[in-house]
Amino acid sequence: MTKHRAWQDQLSRKQMLGILAVLDQCEESGGGHAFKEGLVDAISTYFGVRDVTFFHGRTFPDIFDDPAPLLTGAASPLLPTYHDRWRDKDIFALPLSRRVLTTSGFASLDELSHLPSPQRSYVVDYLRPHDMYTASALHLPLADGEALIGMFGTVRPWDESDLVAMRVLARQLRTRTVTVAAAEQPVDPLKGLTPRQFEVAELVSDGLSNSEIAERLFLSELSVKKYISRIFDTTGHRNRSELAIAVLRRGHRSQARRGQGPHRLAPEVT
């Protein structure tokens, strides 16, 4: 019986360091435009990708309508043409691509066989005339929607270890970006909370129920309900999930500012 090789054994030292460097950049940039620029630049630098793009939307279909994506290299001047002629023919908007991307976080053109005619035209008439012979994408869940990181190049194919490296990178990034917002967030929505209200908000983010919070803080459930109602009024959040994400995002930014040392790669879940 052939023993399955662990992904750590399939990657070179350079690929491992590249993954760590991209994760470091993701942590340091916080969110907003700095996050987009840092991630795009890190992927281009450490994985040798010529053209990298960052599209963002509230939902997966909205990604392709991003009015102001971040584009680099040969892709930079193509946005008007893309919006006018090609966004509905994008290979990564196909149902198969969406399933692969939202499940594993990474998909490449080579994995998409039997393209429909509009998507074949996208490859032949849009990508190749601009020297984009390779195309891959990372999908990231974000605090304010979803993002697609497009990666395009000339003739450099992804070999098996490259594919493994990108899938590992996708898995690691996706555990971190759920608390990151791609849109600019100049105002901390939790800034106006009192210390006691913020304490309640943290317990909400920990998944505690009103009765559990009341027991923890020696309050009545009615008092907890009033606290949470005032917290929603102050922050503008509509439900406990949005509040929890805001608390986690603030903690994430605080950790990034303090510096957390080298990252450890999370083990692969099989």
Is 135 found in the same domain as 29?
yes
Q: Who has greater pLDDT, 188 or 64?
A: 64
Last residue of a domain, one of 145, 179, 213: 179
- Outline where DSSP puts E strands in 112-266: 134-142, 145-153
d(CA 235, CA 227): 12
Across the strands, what pairs with 148? 55, 139
108 in a structural domain:
yes
The count of domains in the chain is: 2
pTM: 0.69
Is 123 found in the same domain as 171?
yes
Burial of 203 (0-12, 13-18, 19+ CB in 10 A): buried
Is 207 found in the same domain as 148?
no
190 in a structural domain:
no
Is 204 found in the same domain as 175?
no
Q: Read off the pLDDT of residues 1-26 as tens digits, 9 standing for 90 and up.
A: 445 567 677 888 999 999 999 999 88
For residue 85, what are the domain limits?
A: 11-179
CATH code of 118's domain: 3.30.450.80
One DSSP character per residue, 171-183 reads HHHHHHGGG--SS
Q: Strand 106-108 vs strand 70-71: parallel, antiparallel, or unpaired?
A: unpaired
Is 45 found in the same domain as 175?
yes
Is 157 found in the same domain as 63?
yes
Is 155 found in the same domain as 238?
no
Last residue of a domain, one of 179, 209, 227: 179
Q: Read off the pLDDT of residues 24-37 as tens digits, 9 standing for 90 and up.
A: 988 888 789 999 99
Residue with tokens 């594919």: 163
Mean pLDDT along residues 57-76: 92
**270: pLDDT strictly greater than 50:** no
What's the pLDDT band for 233 if we cut at 50, 70, 90? very high
200 in a structural domain:
yes
Residue 73 confidence (pLDDT): 87
Q: Contact at 8 Å (CB) between 170 and 104?
A: yes
